[in-house]
Structure 1
């Protein structure tokens, strides 16, 4: 006599729904982790990250206009792609550096645009590149956003705790400025 309970059929690991969630989470987390880490280490987001977001957003904005015609530029979602350009224009017009309220507001606007914009840009690009990715609904969308938020938060916290896991040499060998509170010693990335 067989006492085994029949098991339910197993779903494939990578069905279409899982692929969409993983692609959205991977793209968003990959783009958002580095700015979150540098914000944790240095308290700033590097200009390269602002400019990378600007280049991706501007490319998507222009490509959509060329592919679909200029009327597509009237859509709010497409116009949102100009937020990094707005930040650059404001940075150009307003005085650079300093401690004024305007400078601080511009700094935090850049942080918000970059930290929120990179994952949003990744989600937008995933929808453009992966057929049916726009079908992410409810729980799947929440799962992708949750993964991206978790990875970005973990990256930020890792950045704030960098003296425990990275040395000054790790930063310098990678071409980054060694923060004041970095740990001395041979880096973990140096052999």
Structure 2
């Protein structure tokens, strides 16, 4: 032994530079998994299922509580407002008569669309910022646009798949999975 310590091995460059890619990937996959089913049901049935809407409300309300108990120094207003959208929809659903057909009913329905398609990714985005405080610093605006674009692409593709479900799924596929059969589904030719 010569008495000198060997220099530490340099950290591979790929490990240091791919963290934003990994974070972006996790966020894209999480948001895509969350948004595909509401978009598909809108295409296949022309509606959102109550369990999806209430799941979004529960997740957003839980995230809202986390945002509200964060230390005061963190910016919270826009996060809190985004997370309040599902609760606003739920409140308006209780207070506005669905049979009236007035502008307030239209607002509730539009808010339901926002909740189903936008509140899910917004909730995941806010949760990502809570879990990874460095998220904002590590993810550049071009990467954020990739996330938004990817999730929008998945949502639109899922909606189109729902509209065209009869081309690749049968009525029995829906029945076996525990779902109701959407209008226009194709009967299974082997079911006889």
Instruction: Give the TM-score, by structure 1 length.
Output: 0.82
The answer to whether the aligner puts 1:59 opposite 2:62 as a matched pair is yes
Compared CA separation, residues 167 and 60, structure 1 to 2 (3 A): same
| Partner SS, residue 188 of structure 2 | coil
Of 106, 125, 128, the residue aligned with 1:126 is 128
Q: Alpha carbon RMSD of aligned pairs, Å?
A: 2.7
Is 1:152 matched up with 2:159?
no
User: Is the partner of 1:86 in helix, strand or coil?
Assistant: helix
1:72·1:78 contact (CA, 8 Å) conserved in 2?
Answer: no
Q: Which residue of 2 aligns with 1:3?
A: none
Which residue of structure 1 aligns with residue 18 of structure 2? 15
Q: What's the offset of the Cα at 1:44? A: 0.9
- Residue correspondence of structure 1 range 1-191 to structure 2 within 5 A: 11=14, 15-68=18-71, 75-97=77-99, 99-135=101-137, 136-185=139-188
SS at match of 2:182: coil
Q: 1:73 to 1:61 in 2, by over 3 A?
A: farther
Unaligned runs of 5+ in 1: 1-9
Figure out how many residues of one structure are paired with residues of the other and give that number: 178
Structure 1 residue 175: Cα displacement: 1.3
Cα separation, 2, equivalents of 1:20 and 1:73? 21
**Cross-structure match for 1:6:** none
How many angstroms does 1:121 deviate by?
A: 1.1
- Mapped contact 2:67–2:79 kept (Cα < 8 A): no
In the aligned structure 2, how far is the partner of 1:72 from the partner of 1:134? 12
Shift of 1:186: 6.4
- Structure 2: state its 5+ residue gaps: 1-12
Deviation, 1:98, is 6.3
C-alpha deviations, 1:17-67, integer Å up to 9, x for none? 111110121111111111100011011111111111110111011123234
